[in-house]
Amino acid sequence: MRSLTSDQSVKNQKLKPGTLKRIISFAKPYKIYLIVFLATVVIDSVLVVATPLLLRSLIDKGVIPGRGDVVTRLAIIVGVLAVADAGFNMFGRWFSSRIGEGLIYDLRTQVFAHVQRQSIAFFTRTQTGALISRINSDVIGAQQAFTATLSGVLSNTLSLLLVSIAMLTLSWQITLISLLLLPVFLIPTKWIGKKLQGYTRRSFELNAEMSSTMTERFNVSGALLVSLYGDNDKELKNFSGKARNVADMGVNIAMLNRIFFIAMTSVAAVATSFAYGIGGHLAINKSITVGTLLAITALLARLYGPLTALSNVRVDVMSALVSFERVFEVLDLEPMVKDPLAPISIPSTTPEIRFQDVHFSYPKASQISLASLESAAKPEIVESGTVLSGITFNVKAGTLTAIVGPSGAGKSTISALIPRLYDVTSGAITINEVDIKKASILELRKLIGVVTQDSHMFHESIRANLLYAKSDATEAELLAACDSAQIGNFIRSLPNGFDTVVGERGHRLSGGEKQRLAIARLLLKAPKIVILDEATAHLDSENEALVQKAFETALQGRTSVVIAHRLSTIQGADQIIVLEDGKIAEIGRHDELVAKRGLYFELFQRQSLGVAE
């Protein structure tokens, strides 16, 4: 049935050069397992033919002559072969599962590791569900190339060959007449296969739509939106309609499966009746023996299954190979941000950051992602253009530099370039005179701690979220970091303390609590460079005051870059860089910039901070 529901369109696809060689390389670690597994498949195919032939001898040489000893001996042999067949099946299944699960493990871990090395730009375009599907569905489809597909092709080919030879040897007349019914069997099978393929594809689509609705409504943000804006009756009606479509399609598939089963058994029954009828007359005329007749009818039942499977063998093989190719497509996508071949270590002194004539444009979709992993792979209507132009400034060791400017000026882009979430288009960023492109990505990011305006928390305990920054942190270190971040007392007040689960994206915490927890996480990491990207933008005045107090500890003795929306929070900065349209408009201290009455003064005045015209 799996063959019948396979997508027929894959048989017309052409594999990229070298794909087969690459697939074989994945099988090399399992070479011994594959050999033993295929040996069990061959033995099983031989036993399929051996049993009817032994029954023939049991009837002709034992039952009809009345020789009880022969009947007993052959019956025992048939029983032993049945047990041996079961044993070989179990043996083969063990090896099959070892190969299959091993391949799944190898492919999944490789894809996971490779995806983790992709730049942030990749994740901004990629649909998460499509990516997970590669790691799940396509990986499983790929492993079937070495288990179900390979064994199926070998087993069915061998079974068909042995059964046909045995039947022709026993009676070519009955065999040829039985084969005349083959079109009656295969034509409906093909028709049902096309219908099932369409139904199955539609079933996948309907299930995906239903699952997407549940995923969007059941996460915290979606549930909150439904609660505030949604209509429960309308939501139920929308979901029940999709669930009804899934159920109706399930009924159609079930009925078509039953029709196929009935058609198959009916044709097999008609073929068997022909064999009995013709063979019965041949037995009466002494042209064949009764045992031969019984053996042929037993073999006939083993003829149509392999024929059906082999009629779709190209589809099965290509489906498995295409799954491999889809996995390779992800593995072959080169990360935009890469480690240098010979990384240079960054001196361990307090870091000094220098931007030298930095230009930056966001990469195009074709450079960072795969069209097949995007929900709507369409050409961009508007190119991003140049985001930063000729940015040059220094952040001296141990000082605080604030970056301000209108929305879209490029502030957050600068904060993303320092830890190499993106690479500069031209120019250079150095830390202690080392170009960050020449340093190890891991070493660079160990130096840097970041707090954004919406710090992410995993759906785990407070402890797990904190230990993500320092896995070997002690309880005392956790408490010290939380106290410094002004959230220690809050955690002590919780019934489960550090073992309190924060919920999806930290939704069980308030905005201020989540930000202070993010600062505690940063303090545990103990970075030499701190980047704050509008970390207090969405907080009320009370929480902002607590977070600002936490920042005093976080920034002390560290080189800091603060992206600020509220100018009141950065008046004490060592220098303030004012961006406009991706360029530096002004640079200086707060008092100097206010005195200039330029863009900074306008922004400052707009926020009603009491400065006269």
Task: Write the DSSP assignment of 206-244 as a string of letters.
Answer: HHHHHHHHHHHHHSHHHHHHHHHH--HHHHHHHHHHHHH
* HSE (side-chain half, CA atoms, 13 Å) at 264: 21
Per residue in 416-471, pLDDT (tens digit) is: 899 998 899 999 999 999 999 999 998 998 999 888 877 888 888 999 999 988 88
Which of the pair, 591 or 133, is modelled with greater confidence? 591
For 45, 60, 282, the CA distances from 295, given in Å and listed in that order, are: 16, 11, 14
Please provide residue 388's backbone torsions phi and psi, each rounded to the nearest 5 degrees: -125, 140
Look at residue 309 and give its three-state secondary structure. Answer: helix
- For residue 311, the model assigns a pLDDT of 65
Per residue in 458-497, pLDDT (tens digit) is: 888 999 999 988 889 899 999 998 988 888 889 999 899 8
- For residue 96, the model assigns a pLDDT of 82
User: Global pTM?
Assistant: 0.70
* Lowest mean pLDDT, pick from 338-342, 402-406, 474-478, 531-535: 531-535
Confidence of residue 538 (pLDDT cuts 50, 70, 90): low
- For residue 358, the model assigns a pLDDT of 94
CATH 3.90.1150.10 fits 2-331, yes or no: no
Residues, the chain, total? 613
Confidence of residue 3 (pLDDT cuts 50, 70, 90): very low
For residue 235, pLDDT beyond 50: yes
For residue 516, pLDDT beyond 90: no
Mean pLDDT (the chain, rounded): 81
Look at residue 3 and give its three-state secondary structure. Answer: helix
> In the chain, where are the structural domains located?
2-331, 397-412+440-606
Per residue in 42-63, pLDDT (tens digit) is: 888 888 888 888 888 988 888 8
- For residue 197, the model assigns a pLDDT of 66
DSSP assignment of 351-390, as one string? P-EEEEEEEEEPPPHHHH--GGGSTT----SS---EEEEE
Strand-pairing partners, residue 533, are 452, 563
Please report, rounded to a whole number, the percentage of residues in the chain having pLDDT higher than 90: 16
CATH class of 397-412+440-606: alpha beta
Cβ(276)–Cβ(293) below 8 Å? yes
Structure-block tokens of residue 504: 């999806």
For 460, 472, 474, 523, 547, the CA distances from 468, given in Å and listed in that order, are: 11, 9, 13, 12, 21
Strand-pairing partners, residue 25, are none
Residue 151 burial (C-beta neighbours within 10 Å; 0-12, 13-18, 19+): buried
Taking the alpha carbons at both ends of the chain, their separation in whole angstroms is 80
- For residue 373, the model assigns a pLDDT of 61
Confidence of residue 156 (pLDDT cuts 50, 70, 90): confident
For residue 91, pLDDT beyond 80: yes
Looking at residues 347-371, what average pLDDT do you find? 81
How far apart CA 308 and CA 261 sit, in angstroms, is 12
Looking at residues 348-358, what average pLDDT do you find? 92
For residue 186, pLDDT beyond 80: no
H and E: helices and strands count for the chain = 25, 10
